[in-house]
Structure formats: C-alpha cells, structure tokens
Structure 1
Amino acid sequence: MKAKHLIINCDDFGQSAPMNRAIMHLLEERRVSSATLMAPAPGFEEAAAWCGRRGQANVGLHLTLTSEFDAIRWASLTGHPSLHDESGHMHKTVEGFERNADSSAVGKELLAQYERVARYGIKLSHADNHMGSLYGTATGRSHIPLALKLCAKWRLPFRLFRKVHPGDSLLSPIPGIDRAVGKASALAGVMGVAIPDYLLSHPFEIQEGETYERFKQELIGKLYDLPDGISETYIHPAAEDAEMLKKVPHWAKRVWEYKLMQEDDFAYALKDAGVVLTDYDYVRKHGKASRLGSALSLARELMRK
C-alpha cells in the first residue's frame, strides 16, 4: 500500500532576522521538514552559524539569483556584472535574470553559494531555487541542466517534480507544463538526481478577500487531497515585525504561514489525513528513477513535436 509523504520546506532561511527567528523555532519544534539557506542574503551568517552549532541535518541550499524586495537587497557572491541590475544588486525579477545572466557566471555563482554554506560545516540535505529563476519560466531560458549537473556532483536531491497535481491552481493551468516537467524529471533521472513526485504550491501574495482562516482551511484541505508518493510544499514563515510589515509586500502572509505551522489543527489534520511528514533524506533514498527508463523517457520527449 502506498503512503502519502509530505515535505514542508521553509524557503528563504537567512533572508532576514525575523525570518530566521520563525524558521529556527519551527525547526526546533520539528513542525516542518526542512529549510533552505540563502547564501547571499543579509541574514545568512546568523542562520548558518545556528545550523553549524546545532549540527542541523535537514537544511538545504536555496540557490539564489534574484533579489526582489526594495527593503532587503543583496549582491551576488562572485560580483559578475551580468548577475546584477543597475543598482549593483541581483536582478529584481526572474525575467531580468534570464535575459541578462551569463551562463558561465551563473555556474560560478551557484558553486560559490555552495562553498559558502560548506564553510560553516553544514551537511546539506538538498537544493532548491529562489523564485524559480533557474527554470526558464519567464523567457524559456532554463538553467535546469546546470542545476542538475551540480546536484549530481554534490550528491544532493533537487526540487523538481515528476507530475503536476491536477488540484494545483498555480501549476496545472500553465501551458505545456506537463511536457516541461516530463523532460526535466527525465533529465534528473538520467543524471541520478533524486526528486519528489509532486510540488504543491499556493499563492505567495495575499489574494483578494483572503483571510488567515481562509488560508488555513485551504492548506488543510490540500492535506486531504494529497496524492500517494512524495510531495513537497514550501512556505516562507516569518515572525511579526512592524518594520518588515511596512516595507515588504505581503509580509502578513509570511506571518500567517508561521502561525499555521504552530496550530494544533494543522498537526491534527496531518495525522487525520494519513500524511507522513518526511524530509529530503527520504527523497535521497526513494526519489531516484531508473537511469535507463529515464533516458528512454527523455528521448521520447525530445522527439515529440
């Protein structure tokens, strides 16, 4: 009998002190599965030092090529001009990154981010990508092959997915998403990179008329609709902070996510829905596909018109 496994990953660890406080708390209480570190961000040193002291085993690398908020901006670690906008910070949008970034510079930056985390003695559990900048969603210029090549070298699972869950309101409407996912997941299989089966997303922004209670019920409802296999969902939890609330768009949604993970209702729903909270160590052990089967799948996808 198949089981429903779910990873709840905290993105943007190291973005700022209020986010660090929330994520550290959730990791300490084991309310979430994992978190991913932003090596270029201003709160990185605090987050990385905490992980190093604790020997935190369920922390990954949030590959970061964009810097979207006026209130919190950062530059690349390598300083290549193609990775920056006119302000000297990383591009604010995925489109800006895709149109301007030199591919060689991207590779060097990703390696520098990995090496910065490694200097803190952190044994990474996986890698994923901030704002989906490597996926080619804005212009079609994808850096997924590069990301998978590095993950194969580092022996890390990566946030991709094999199938689009039909109930995912953000991913399922995207034209051609099934074919794009098929090619990317087959390439991961060929390269020996473990990935989850599904990615369950929800809007980053507060939707018109959305309240905390409505948001809470939506996410709890997803638990009961979870498919068999390994799924991941990601959150951006943050502690309440008056300054961030004024300066960062939709900061309240981050506070909602932090609050929800502490709710007994959410913990009860996980058990009631038969969902097993797991982490990327489980993906490492169970998320690899046959290389031969993946090669055949990739060939079929590439031959399709």
Structure 2
Amino acid sequence: MIVREQKYLVINCDDFGQSAPMNAAIMHLLEERRVSSATIMAPAPGFEEAAAWCRKRGQANIGLHLTLTSEFEAIRWKSLTGDPSLHDDGGHMYRTLLEFERGANTAAVVKELDAQYERVRRAGIAITHADNHMGSLYGIAMGRSHIPQALMKCVKWKVPFRLFRRVHPEDILASVPGVERAVGKASALAGTLGVAIPDYLLSHPFEIEDGETYESFKQSMIAKLYRLPEGISETYIHPAIPDDAMLAAIPHWEKRVWEYRLMLDDDVHAAMKDAGVTLTDYAFIARHGRASRLRSAWALGTELLRRS
C-alpha cells in the first residue's frame, strides 16, 4: 500500500476540556469511535474532568491543544505560568489573535507551552500529537509566528503537529493571500526538524453562515468527503451537546451541536466508506507523515532566500 495513493482522514475534536457540555460530546464520540482523536486544553476550566476521564479509560488518542487565547466572555481562563505578557487587562488570556501577537513575549510563550505539556503529562496522559487553539501561534493576525517554537517543542515531545504541506483549492484557506508560500515555509521547517504533519488541512466556518441549516451543513461536509485529495488529510470539529446556558452565552453554540450530531449521523459515515476514505489517527501520521529531511532543508533554504 502506498499512502499517497489512498485517501485518509483524521477527524480531531478540538477544545476538549473547555466546558462540561463539550466534554460530554467529545467523550461520547471517542467512546463510539466516530472520530479519530481529541486535543485537550490544559488551562481551561473543564480540564480536570476531561483528564480524569482519559486517565480512567487509558484513552490513547489524545493530543495537546496549545492554548494562548481565551475568546469567550462566558468562559475565561488564565495562563498556567501567570506571565503578564500573556494576559489582558482583566487578567485572562487574550481574546483575539491580534492582542496575543501584539502583547505576548516569545520567551513567555515557550514557557507556557512547556507548562501546558507538563500539566497534561502529570495528569497521566501521553499525548499523541499537538495543535493550536485559534491558530494563535501561526502569525495569522500580523505575521508574528511562533511556529518554529512550537515545532521545536514537538521535536522534544516526539509528536506530530497540525500543519499541512499543501492547500486544497476548495478549502477556505485557499483565499488567504500568500498562504501557499507560508505553508511551504512552515512545512519545510517541519520536515527539516523531522516533525510529522498531514498533507492537507480541511477547515470550515466556525460560525453558522447566512441561511445555513444542519442539513445544508451536512451535505457540504459529505461533498468534501467525495472531493478529498489523495494522501493524509485532517479536519477538526468543536462538538458539544445541547445546553441552554451555553447556547445563550457562547456565539454559534448551535454549530457545535451540529458538529456533534454530524459525527453520529450514519449518512456521513456511509458516505465516507462510499468515497473510499479511511478514518485514521495521528499515530498513522507519526508513521507516514514525515518528509525527507534533506529535501525539506533544501526547500526551506530556497524559501528563505526568496526576496518576494
């Protein structure tokens, strides 16, 4: 079997540990094996519940959701290290990517990444991968990226990281100016360091779009399965069970409920099978997601020497 001639998909549940309703949904999906994995938020208020469940079950497919922002008024959290540069005037992690990139001291970011890893490790969880809450480390807002620091941590922790080698032309990221070059540089750095990554990242809007219903959302996700490129792709969801208090307090909570419902929908899993897509996990990426370090170093050098 040649991996690049097959279609593999990782479905990761982000924000494990954010809140009890999200924990309940993610636990259920993991128990039913309807998703590949979840990534846990060490600073978030639901962390202890999520970690205790993982420890009791010996859950093996849990990653670290590196968290440097706290976006919702109803659920705020502080950093584990308490560094002032990681907090807004209210003493919580920044709400937006722009605030984080403007205010965070790089040395403090690195210490916080270590602290979050150590909290998860002390909780008895051996992480299988790492990714990043809200993309705060990617330099999306003003180009101040902490991807090199995150990749160096993944080398130390010996885990893959959520990056991607190519931009799927139908993905919403394809419209971001300069995304191809940014992806090329970051993936070349990952390859040079020996960090395994997926080939593609498939994303979808976090919010409910105008006129969108559960059925239209479902059909759009099924259509993506049939257009999935060959190789290893990852998509991520933020599933949650219905909860009146969270629906009132968290923007687009209903979309999170839709994502939970989607993963329990037999039509989706039948479509995955019909489209020839194999559900896999980050253990598979760890085995098959590394690029040639020599070719990656050459590609990285070429990118760094480009003037424009």
TM-score by length of 1: 0.99
2:55 to 52, 56, 59: 52
SS of residue matched to 2:262: helix
Q: What's the counterpart of residue 303 of structure 1?
A: 305
Q: Give the root-mean-square deviation of aligned CA atoms.
A: 0.5
Aligned residue in 2 for 1:162: 165
Q: Percent identity?
A: 72
- Counterpart of 2:245, as a letter, is E
Q: Does 2:257 match 1:251?
A: no
Letter in 2 for 1:275: V
Q: Distance in 2 between matches of 1:297 and 1:137?
A: 22
Which of residues 17, 22, 36 is equivalent to 2:39?
A: 36
SS of match in other structure, 1:227: coil
SS at match of 1:42: coil
Query: Which runs of no fewer than 5 residues in structure 2 stay unpaired?
Result: none
Aligned residue runs from structure 1 range 1-305, under 5 A: 2-168=5-171, 170-305=172-307
The runs of at least 4 consecutive aligned structure 1 residues that moved more than 6 Å come to none
Q: Helix, strand or coil: the match of 2:174?
A: coil
TM-score (norm 2): 0.98
| Matched residue count | 304
- 1-structure distance, mates of 2:234, 2:266: 21
Q: How far off is 1:144 after superposition? A: 0.2
Shift of 1:121: 1.2
Instruction: Tell me how far apart the structure 2 counterparts of residues 267 and 227 of structure 1 sit (CA, whole Å).
Output: 17
What is the DSSP-based 3-state SS (H/G/I as helix, E as strand, rest coil) of the residue aligned with 2:154? helix
1:11 aligned partner, one-letter code: D
Q: Distance in 2 between matches of 1:86 and 1:240?
A: 32
The residue type equivalent to 1:178 in the other structure is E
**Distance in 2 (alpha carbons) for counterparts of 1:257 and 1:180:** 29
| Deviation sequence 1:134-178 (CA, Å, 0-9, x none) | 00010100000000000001001000000000010x200001100
Cα deviations across residues 117-136 of structure 1 (Å, max 9, x unaligned)? 00111111100000000000
Q: Deviations over 1:2-41 (max 9, x none)?
A: 1100000000000000000000000000000000000000
Residue aligned with 2:63, SS? strand
Per the TM alignment, residue 304 of structure 1 is displaced from its structure 2 partner at its CA by: 1.5
